[in-house]
Structure 1
Amino acid sequence: MHEYCIREAAEADIDGARAVMLDAVYRDFGTGYVPHWHADIIDPVPFYVTPPRHTLLVAVDERDGTVAATAALDARGPAHPPNPHWLAERFPSGETAQLRRVYVRPEHRRRGLARQLVDGLLEFARADGGYRSVYLHTYPHSPGALGPWKALGKAVCDEREDVPGGGSGVVHFEIPLT
């Protein structure tokens, strides 16, 4: 039985968190590292650790101290472009807690880590007091991506159906803050 410690990322966790995130974009998304999309992965500290309204949580395997999963939150709403204009207006920066980089290594999946991390992010957002909504987007082809988000919130835009030409195929969710 694995035991995990869920915590805010410490300096010693950053390399492990980066490895989890990079593995996900290569393995699960097939995009590899794209500087425009993934600058926060290469240097997560100024994106998630330093800003007071942002956070990076990790799940650390207590057996060996390795980072098994990540989840981040920041105050940046979805940008237009590439997202639909109305979506960027619905979730403005500063008022929106955006969940990002919720990734679990394959060998640690199906143990509730993503849910525990997201619960921690939601608690962080509620404690902040300045967020009015919680937003995230996911790619349906990513392993295990849609089910958990459908259970936690509601899809507000499925680009496969709601955007002419299919957009980028992303599904956008709003999760209740309360």
Structure 2
Amino acid sequence: MIEWSSANAYDVQVREYCIRPAGPEDLDGARAVMLDTVYRDFGTGYVPRWHADIIDPAAAYLTPARHTLLVALDGADGKVVATAALDSRGPAHPPNPREVAERFPSGATAQLRRVYVSPGHRRRGLARRLVTGLLAFAVADGGYRSVYLHTDPAVEGAEGFWRSLGQVVRDEREDPDGGQGTVHFEVPFHTFAATAPPPTS
């Protein structure tokens, strides 16, 4: 169910969850989910050159007009339990393969980032709903030609989830040297029926 609020933002009720565009009051909770994911699931911890947007999500996603950060709130306590972001930066080369960077140029590419769900709230459809909201935002923007993301297949469930939604455009595990082991995806705009209004702040 989609409901318009007085702020002209949309709230999607997913069981006991509310998915909405993040506001300043949500950033501490969003940051906590993101940091927990990079430490617990990725095992990398915070790496400045990769994770600057986690430390300052307002500058990365709230301020730029063509970017967005969605959060899922637990209806029981209002705590942020999942995140999903979109920005207009295509994959850079290096570290990504040159052909991937050329296929998904900045400005014309909506890159999906930080689609993270806290462990106790997984397998409840939150990631899929969040991606639906990001795609609606990208469609409404009107300037994006493609939707791109990459994932680490070592993270449990990540590769299977993205394969269910998108098309693999490069699997670095198939490179002679194994590359970085990263899998690159394109998610078609028509993956979901874009019937939801785009999130607005």
Q: TM-score, normalised by structure 1?
A: 0.97
Unaligned segments of structure 1, at least 5 residues: none
Per-residue deviation, 1:167: 1.1
Find the aligned partners of 1:105 and 1:169 in 2 and give their Cα distance: 24
What is the root-mean-square deviation in Å for CA atoms of aligned residues?
1.1
In structure 2, the partner of 1:176 is: 188
* Offset from partner CA, 1:4-25 (integer Å, 9 cap, x none): 0000001110000000000000
Find the aligned partners of 1:2 and 1:62 in 2 and give their Cα distance: 9
Residue 93 of structure 2: which of 61, 80, 84 is its match?
A: 80
Map of 1:14-163 to 2, 5 A cutoff?
14-161=27-174, 163=175
* Offset from partner CA, 1:70-106 (integer Å, 9 cap, x none): 0000000000000011110000000000000000000
Find the aligned partners of 2:156 and 2:16 in 1 and give their Cα distance: 23
Find the aligned partners of 1:143 and 1:7 in 2 and give their Cα distance: 26
Unaligned segments of structure 2, at least 5 residues: 1-13, 191-201
Give the structure with the higher percent helix: 1
CA contact (8 A) 1:60 1:68 kept: yes
Identity, in percent, stands at 73
Read off the aligned partner of 2:88 and give its amino acid letter.
A
Find the aligned partners of 1:117 and 1:2 in 2 and give their Cα distance: 14
Find the aligned partners of 1:76 and 1:164 in 2 and give their Cα distance: 28
Per-residue deviation, 1:177: 1.5
* Offset from partner CA, 1:53-79 (integer Å, 9 cap, x none): 000000000101110100000000000
Find the aligned partners of 1:86 and 1:61 in 2 and give their Cα distance: 40
